[in-house]
Amino acid sequence: MEQIEHKYVKVNGLKLHVAEIGSGNSPVVVFLHGFPEIWYTWRYQMIAVAKAGYRAIAPDFRGYGLSDQPPEPEKTSFLDFANDTLALEDALGISKAFLVGKDFGSIVISRFVNLYEERVSGFIVMGVPFWPPHPLKFKDDLPEGFYISRWGEPGRAEADFGRLDVKTVVRNVYILFSRSEVPIANENQEIMDIVQPSTPLPPWFSEEDLAAYGALYENSGFKTALQVPYRSLHEQFNITDPTVHVPALFIEGKKDYVLKFPGMEDYINGELKTLVPNLETASLPEGNHFVQEQLPDEVNQLVLDFLTKNSKPQ
């Protein structure tokens, strides 16, 4: 971990915190986090790809971790995150990169590839597959207590989270999202109350890891994190053809609760293959929503195999 360097890069009027490791002249891999994650979620993958000769870069999105808050968090969008990624590459002199995303970071990559495919050598997503620019429908078929519906309601998550310290919020979300069941609260229950205080952390997630996440969210809070992704999922994009042709890999944890969203399996086995014709899928039978932290050795090997296969000689 100590070999990972940290700096700030001015992007679209904001300072983004960027973690980096590897030679400046190497092929670049940009890692984009989800929620409740941060750059730190990629610690194992960054070190692995750097050892293999790549330059690994992992920013905190605007409003997350050590990056600046946007002036109007409630107006922040997936498009902002995609454009920040482009501006970050420009600021660092990167003409083309591999992109690796997890959870809503996969949606940021989807927008980026649709808009700037010429800047992408290939992409890897996990937790959530490539998603075209139309609203998510599965919410309509899940109960009112579905966590995305609850957190999409302005003020609801703020009140729920506000009863607890930041570290406990992150702890509860990690526990909830590690399970194979979709997080759904009862009618008179808040999402944070689904987790009993005595529930242990997953065995692959240490108290030191929790402290690292807690400190980063102590700094940023959850204002932007609730806006993107949860209050931005309805965004519309004027993209006439969302098909992408760069090489792609979807790493699927078979015990990931996201696979139980209504219609998700049908989408993965149908429309997704049409939208991303050069897509490969790798399934990890024991993998949950946090495969990159839960099973780092397996994920690192899949990532390195993909990079090796799709890297042009320097």
CB 191 within 8 A of CB 162: no
What tokens were used for 78?
């997936």
54: closest CA among 113, 124, 129, 104?
A: 124
Distance CA 105, CA 290 (A): 13
Residues involved in catalysis: 103, 230, 289
